Amino acid sequence: MQLFNKKILLGITGGIAAYKTPDVVRKLTAQGAQVRVVLTRGAAEFVSPLSLQAVSGNPVHTQLLDEQAEAGMGHIELAKWADILLIAPATANCMAKLAQGLADDLLTTIYLATDARVCLAPAMNQKMWKARATQENLHRLQLHGVDFIGPDAGEQACGDVGPGRMVEPEAIVSSLAAMSGDDKLAGKHLVITAGPTREPIDPVRYVSNHSSGKMGFAIAQAAIEQGARVTLIAGPVTIAPPANATTISVTTAQQMYEAVMRHIPQADIFVATAAVADYKVSDVAENKIKKSDEKLTLTFVKNPDILKEVAALPSPPFTVGFAAESQDVEAYARGKLRNKKLDMIAANDITREGLGFNSDENALHVIWHDGDEHLPPASKTDLAKTLIALVAKQYNNKMSK
């Protein structure tokens, strides 16, 4: 119950997703939070103040100058009251005003006047979300310390499909709870790779593997729950990334390498869960290769060894590798730990039925230089939490020496 007794000020702006906000309030109060609501003029077109008052148990605030507030300055009182300012849905217009420091209504004025943690759950058309101006506003707000929950991708009210949907109320509440949890990694930046890579043969075919990305995404979520800032670099997967991760989508090993190297100078910890292809086709055909001969010969060349190159940097982050093996699992993992000069490695046996690739469960043997721990079969979500706790402990031990 990380939200117990937390004072949460919910700002609702004028998007269709506003109809979900009574459920957000209900779920927050069920967690023991105290909730007050600020409703913009546009939001009142989608959800009624009376319904929000009923679920929150408090009057809904709409006016900048409030006759009921002390000295008529309700915005200052609310700004001081809140532990968390949650704006959901946050429209493109709202993001633009916050990014530029405009204060033309109660909500934007509170934003400028509060010392509370600020979290936005964006909701807008997918083209509006992708627009350069919106992305620049996103970056500016992140630099100001604003946290983002979502958006999700999927079908939108207008019929478009893409990123921009407000995340569901349950996900909003769980993300807020995670931010308020036991922050073993507070202030730390983790770069995490996840999923497979695809190495093209021609415009139609590629070489890949069975990695689903579930383990890496679970580790990213576990790190966020421990207070970390997470950059998640993901190959082609079909699952949604954690709401609070900065997610970078890549396809090939070379693209993943370049993305990692761009972000690793600011990283405290690097966790390499991605199943990166060791080799790529030396000459990718410009056109589809036609079926002609009985045999097709392709020449492969090595891809960059991302994990090894990160660990070999002059000032490397705390580096965690993964070893998915089918035989001599521990021996290969210890060799990889030693040869690549890693801080920690998590090994799993891919021959164990029901575990590993494309499964919701896994088992790991986590090894570091002066110790190890066997993590028995469990859901990848639970396993990720245990692994991140071990990573945090060993990282802090190393930093204290």
pLDDT in tens, 94-110: 999 999 999 999 999 99
- Give residue for tokens 């090994």: 347
pTM for this entry: 0.57
CATH 3.40.50.10300 fits 189-400, yes or no: yes
- The pLDDT tens digits for 240-293 are 888 789 999 999 999 999 999 999 999 999 999 999 999 999 999 999 988 877
Mean pLDDT value across residues 224-235: 91
Smallest Cα–Cα separation from 395: which of 338, 331, 317?
A: 317
DSSP state of 244: T
Predicted local distance difference test score (pLDDT) of residue 76: 83
Domain boundaries, the chain: 7-179, 189-400
Report the C-alpha gap between 220 and 391 in whole angstroms.
12
Does 7-179 match 189-400 in CATH topology? yes
Identify the DSSP state of 303. Answer: P
Q: What is the mean pLDDT of residues 152-171?
A: 83
Mean of the pLDDT values across residues 209-219? 91
> Per the residue annotation, which of 1, 30, 157, 158 is the catalytic one?
158
- Residues 307-364 have pLDDT tens digits of 999 999 999 999 999 988 878 889 999 999 999 999 999 998 877 766 656 577 888 9
Active-site residue 119, yes or no?
no
Q: What is the mean pLDDT of residues 46-53?
A: 94
Residue 72 confidence (pLDDT): 47
Among left, alpha and beta (phi > 0; psi -120 to 50; other), residue 46 is alpha
Residue 45 vs residue 77, higher pLDDT: 45
pLDDT tier for residue 69 given thresholds of 50, 70 and 90: low
Residue 393 zone, left/alpha/beta (φ > 0; ψ -120 to 50; rest): alpha
Give me the chain's average pLDDT, please. 89
- Cis peptide bond upstream of 317, omega within 30: no
- Cβ proximity of 215 and 175 under 8 Å: no
Amino acid at 164: G
Burial class (CB in 10 A: 0-12, 13-18, 19+), 223: buried
* pLDDT more than 70, % of the chain: 94
Residues 112-135 have pLDDT tens digits of 999 888 999 999 999 999 999 999
**DSSP per-residue codes, 158-226:** TS-EEEEEPPPHHHHHHHHHHHTS--TTTT-EEEEEESB--EESSSS-EE-----SHHHHHHHHHHHHT
Question: Which whole number is the average pLDDT over 394-401?
Answer: 86
Fold held by 7-179: Rossmann fold (3.40.50)
